[in-house]
Amino acid sequence: MISFPILSLLVFLPLAGVLFLLFVRGDAETVARNSRNTALLTSLFTFGLSIYMYMGFDGTSAELQFVEKLPWLPGLNINYKVGVDGISIFFVLLSTFLTPICILASWESIEHRVKEYMISFLLLETMMLGMFCAVDLMLFYIFFEGVLIPMFVIIGVWGGKRRVYSAFKFFLYTLLGSVLMLLAILYLYNTYGTTDIPELSNLAIPANVQKWLWLAFLASFAVKVPMWPVHTWLPDAHVEAPTAGSVILAGVLLKMGGYGFLRLSLPVFPDASVYYAPWIFGFSVIAVIYTSLVALAQEDMKKLIAYSSVAHMGFVTIGIFAMNQNGFDGAMFQMLSHGVVSAALFLCVGVIYDRLHTREIVPKYATIFMVFMLASVGLPGTSGFIGEFLVLLGAYQVNTTVTALAATGVVLGAAYMLYLYKRVVFGELVKSDVKAMKDVDGREIAIFLPMIGLVFWMGIYPSSFTAPMAPALGKVLERVAPARQALLEARAPAAAEKKAEEAAKTAEEQPAVTTEPEAAPAEAEPAKEPEKTEEEPKKKKGKKHK
């Protein structure tokens, strides 16, 4: 195993680049060139380090690894504590993977204040990594909010015409959530005297308290996801942000909400999470259908992809709150896949923007765009399919109506993406300078090739991703299992008895179908298959004899 503090090194490595950049002097061109090179090298090195860390990561364990703990505010029992498990490590990798791509994508398109731009991006990387690695709630909060600052600057300084409006809208939405989350954190700290997330995840907080605190956290996470109806900042932010800003926004920042649910809401407030799950289902289904329809009507490419992001994130929240292994795996996978695919789609848009805001059929570009378009549509064999499929498979076991409604989003998704592709790639020439548009160059192929590889890898051999995340997700499942059990029993106490009888009968008649009547939460079971306890009551519910 790795003995040196690799996580801290990883988190703060981009800051070293920032430090170096602060001292870059000379004429504008030299500064720009040096800034680009430094930022790229730093981010590549960070990516390499994260890969090295992943190689030392034990995918069979559900525990936090590479944990570092230093007293931070010693008298107050608040620590600098970082660590990664099967959930967070993939987000760490996603962040380190996308940052160099963003920097490469800004190579030519950013011409003024290059140094400041690169500093913002490296700062952003530190904040993202810190957020995903933090195991202490206070630390998490600081990074969680810290992410906003460089993002706000990137949109506000290097954005389009209405950048200030967009930046403020973005800030207003997220600020509201942050304040409430901070209050909830303070309450937790005051009442339980700790901000250590694993410790908090083992507390038995009274259910009615959970419900309030859960809502406070929701306010923050829902904005980040973004869930309907607090999503309207996203299209504006995407439209105004520079391409790389959109990439990181769609690729990583939108995952903060889903990550927050998995890391905090579910483990710390299991009862409240179960209690509110139907509401989340409702809002997610609205998000999927509503934003898919809105996406159909969009004329602006960036806005369309932004709305499609909201729809895709709707699947994530459905998967998380389905609360079974399929749903969890699907939600995680959907987040990772969306991180790559939507990022790539924004890059595809960026390629067009870079070329005089034009469009004309260019075969290589058309092919690359096609791959990501199909991945976004959820074509089997690409990453997009696995996430959607597992989410819907998991949700079906909980609620068929929700699944059927959400699945209409898949049909609509095909409609708006193909319609977009037709207009962008096959559309008629609008401007005359279009004919001058060149096909993608070497730098752009270097950006897209790894992403295409990843899309197919995730689609054809997804087990390499789902296997290491399963134990950590299993732990979360175990945590929410008793609450779900209780709810199911409370909902139909009479029916449960009847079902138990029937199940006994069923078990005699149908050896092929698993319907063991004992569905006690099995703590001792290996974390790999805790969803068994989950599915049993559901299955029985489904199997009534005439």
Partner 1 sequence: MEFIAVFAPLIGCLAAALFAWKDDEEGHGPAQVLTCGLMVIAAIMSGLLFYKINIAATMAPKTIVLFNWISSGTLNLNWSLKFDQLSAVMVLVVNFVSCAVHIYSVGYMHHDKRRALFQCYLSLFTFAMLMLVTSANFVQLFFGWEGVGVASYLLIGFWHHKDSANRAAIKAFVVNRIGDFGLALGIFAVFMVFGSLDFDKVFAAVPATNDVVVEFLGQQFNAITLIGFLLFVGAMGKSAQLGLHTWLPDAMEGPTPVSALIHAATMVTAGVFLVARMSPIYEYAPLAREFITVIGALTALVAATIAITQFDIKRVIAYSTMSQLGYMFFAAGVSAYSAAMFHLFTHAFFKALLFLGAGSVIHAMSDEQDMRRMGGIYKLIPFTYVVMWIGSLALAGVPPFAGFFSKDTILEANFAAHSQVGLFAYWCGITAAFLTAFYSWRLIFMTFHGTPRADEKVMAHVHESPKIMTIPLAFLAAGALGAGALAIFFVGESRGSFWGNSIFVLEQNDVLERIHHIPQWAKLLPTGVGIAGILLAFLFYVRKRHMPAMMAGMFSGIHNFFFRKWYFDELYDRIAVIPSFFLGNKLWKTGDGAIIDGFGPDGVASTVKAGSDKAHALQSGYIFHYAFAMIIGVVAIITAYVFYAHRQGF
Residues 452-471 that bind partner 1 (CB under 8 A): 460-463, 466-467, 470
Q: How far apart are CA 346 and CA 250, in angstroms?
A: 8
Contact range with partner 1 by CB under 8 A, out of 72-80, 147-155, 260-268, 511-519? 511-519
Measured distance CA(332)–CA(326) in Å, rounded: 10
Q: Which is nearer to partner 1, 157 or 393 (CB)?
A: 393
Q: Please identify, using beta-carbon distances, which residue of 140 and 396 lies nearer to partner 1.
A: 396
Q: How many CB atoms lie within 10 A of CB 194?
A: 18
Residue 329 Cβ, how far from partner 1 at the closest point, in Å? Answer: 4
Q: Which is nearer to partner 1, 112 or 364 (CB)?
A: 364
Return the bridge partners of 71, or none. Answer: 79
Residue 441 engages partner 1 in binding (rule: CB under 8 A): no
- Between 435 and 546, CB nearer to partner 1: 546
**Other C-beta atoms within 10 Å of 431: how many?**
13
Q: State how far the Cα of 223 lies from the Cα of 221, in Å rounded to an integer.
A: 5
Question: Rounded to 5 degrees, what angle do the CA atoms 58, 450, 32 make?
Answer: 110
Q: How far is CA 107 from CA 42, 437, 460, 539, in A?
A: 15, 18, 32, 54
Closer residue to partner 1, CB minimum distance, 358 or 408: 408
Give the DSSP per-residue string, 31-51: HHHHHHHHHHHHHHHHHHHHH
What's the number of CA atoms in the CB half-sphere (13 Å) around residue 86? 25
Contact flag: residue 317 with partner 1 (CB under 8 A): no
Q: Per CB under 8 A, does 318 bind partner 1?
A: no
Distance CA 373, CA 354 (A): 20
Distance CA 484, CA 273 (A): 9
How near is the Cβ of 89 to partner 1 at its closest, in Å? 18
- Cβ 196 to partner 1, closest distance in Å? 29
Q: Is 238 in the site for partner 1 (CB under 8 A)?
A: no
Q: What is the largest CA-CA distance in the chain?
A: 84
Name which of residues 6 to 65 contact partner 1 (CB under 8 A).
none
- Is 498 a binding residue for partner 1 by CB under 8 A? The answer is no
The reply on whether position 438 binds partner 1 by CB under 8 A is no
The residue among 205 and 477 lying less far from partner 1, judged by its C-beta, is 477
> Cβ of residue 253: shortest distance to partner 1, in angstroms?
18
Q: Which of residues 517-546 bind partner 1 (CB under 8 A)?
A: 529, 531-532, 535, 538-539, 541-546
Nearer to partner 1 among residue 33 and residue 491 (C-beta): 491
Cβ distance to partner 1 smaller for residue 126 or 291: 291
Q: What span, in angstroms and rounded, lies between the C-alpha atoms of 90 and 51? A: 10
- Binding to partner 1 in span 90-149, by CB under 8 A: none
Instruction: Give yes or no for residue 76 binding partner 1 (CB under 8 A).
Output: no
Site residues for partner 1, 270-299, by CB under 8 A, read 290, 293-298
The span from the CA of 399 to the CA of 219, in Å, is: 25
Helix, coil or strand: residue 510: coil
Q: In terms of residues, how long is the chain? A: 546
Q: Which positions from 329 to 358 touch partner 1 by CB under 8 A, shown as an x/- string?
A: xx----------------------------
174-213 binders of partner 1 (CB under 8 A): none
Shortest reach from residue 531's CB to partner 1, in Å: 5
Q: Which is nearer to partner 1, 2 or 296 (CB)?
A: 296
- Long-range contact pairs involving 463-466 (C-beta distance under 8 Å, separation at least 24): 465/90, 465/333, 465/336, 466/329, 466/332, 466/333
Task: State the nearest-atom distance from the C-beta of 169 to partner 1, in Å.
Answer: 5
- Quote the least distance from Cβ 463 to partner 1, whole Å: 5
Beta-ladder partners of 507? none
User: Alpha-carbon distance 253 to 125, whole Å?
Assistant: 11
Site string for partner 1, 380-399 (x = CB under 8 A): xx---xx--xx-xx--xx--
Residues 214-233 that bind partner 1 (CB under 8 A): 229-230, 232-233
Q: How far is the CB of 401 from partner 1 (least distance, A)?
A: 5
Question: What secondary structure does DSSP assign to 158-189, as a single string?
Answer: HS-TTHHHHHHHHHHHHHHHHHHHHHHHHHHH
Confirm or reject binding of residue 507 to partner 1 (CB under 8 A): no
Cβ proximity to partner 1: between 83 and 378 the closer is 378
Distant-in-sequence, close-in-space partners of 12: CB < 8 Å, separation ≥ 6: 126
Q: List the x/- string, 418-437, binding to partner 1 by CB under 8 A.
A: xx--x--xx-----------
Q: Which residue among 79, 99, 308, 325 contacts partner 1 (CB under 8 A)?
A: 325
Return all residues near 438 (Cβ < 8 A) that are at least 6 apart. Answer: 355, 362
| Beta carbon nearer to partner 1, 52 or 279 | 279
Closer of 61 and 367 to partner 1 (Cβ) = 367
**Residue whose CB is less far from partner 1, 89 or 412:** 412
- Contact window for partner 1 (CB under 8 A) among 77-85, 202-210, 273-281, 402-410: 402-410
Q: Among 24, 63, 408, 450, which residue sits at the site for partner 1 (rule: CB under 8 A)?
A: 408
Report phi then psi at 87, rounded to 5: -85, -50
Q: Which two tokens stand for residue 333?
A: 């996978």
Give the burial class of 334: count Cβ atoms within 10 A of its Cβ; 0-12 exposed, 13-18 middle, 19 or more buried. Answer: buried
CB closer to partner 1, 113 vs 532: 532
Q: Nearest to residue 264, comparing CAs of 301, 228, 296, 224?
A: 224
Quote the CA–CA distance of 42 and 24 in Å, as a whole number: 15
100: preceding bond cis by omega (within 30 degrees): no
Size of the site for partner 1 (CB under 8 A): 78
The binder of partner 1 chosen from 2, 379, 496, 500 (CB under 8 A): 379
